[in-house]
Amino acid sequence: MASDPRDDEDAFRWEGDDSPTRPPRPERTDAALPSGWQAVGKGSGAADTEPAPADVVATDEAEPPASLGNVALVSLGLLGGIYLLYTVGWILAGSRLSAATSFWLEPASVVPALFVAAAAPALWFGGTFLLTRSAATWIRFAWLVVGVFLLVPWPFVIGL
């Protein structure tokens, strides 16, 4: 079944396009292309030809880094959620510990330590991203997994 070329152009038109208040739309021609440009696509005749080696421009720019795949993004989200839970766990454990240790420790020494303990998971997560920007993805995940084991809020886990 052959399609009428005018039917293909109907998708780009709206009733009232030929309004007297709007100037007529110019038809597309290859002459409207800047010098050195070549039309490609359906009906241009240039779609199946490969550029000559002289037409290929070499650039000195490095290739952009590859983006992360779906599995890596989901894994980063799960690890980020674990670090967020660790932060909440350190805050809750810290509030219980400060009440339990207020008899023999000065609050001026306990509060900064608890603040650093609560901020440690977020600092580890952000620091890992900052320091492994140019490293391989597996190295970033290895450091994040190491942090998962190092930063467990033990006072919260054991119920202090």
Tell the burial category of 14 from Cβ atoms under 10 Å away from its Cβ (0-12, 13-18, 19+): exposed
- pLDDT (tens digit per residue) in 24-72: 666 655 556 777 777 777 666 554 455 555 555 555 555 555 677 889 8
Q: Which letter does DSSP use for residue 160 in this model? A: -
Query: Is there a contact between 43 and 51 (Cβ–Cβ < 8 Å)?
Result: no
HEC string for 121-153: HHHHHHHHHHHCCCCCHHHHHHHHHHHHHHCCC
- pLDDT (tens digit per residue) in 121-147: 999 999 998 999 889 989 999 999 999
Q: Is the pLDDT of residue 157 over 60?
A: yes
* 114/123: higher pLDDT: 123
- pTM for this model (two decimals): 0.55
Give the residue from 26, 27, 28, 30 showing the smallest Cα distance to 45.
30
Query: Is there a contact between 107 and 98 (Cβ–Cβ < 8 Å)?
Result: yes
Give the pair of three-digit tokens for residue 116: 């650093």
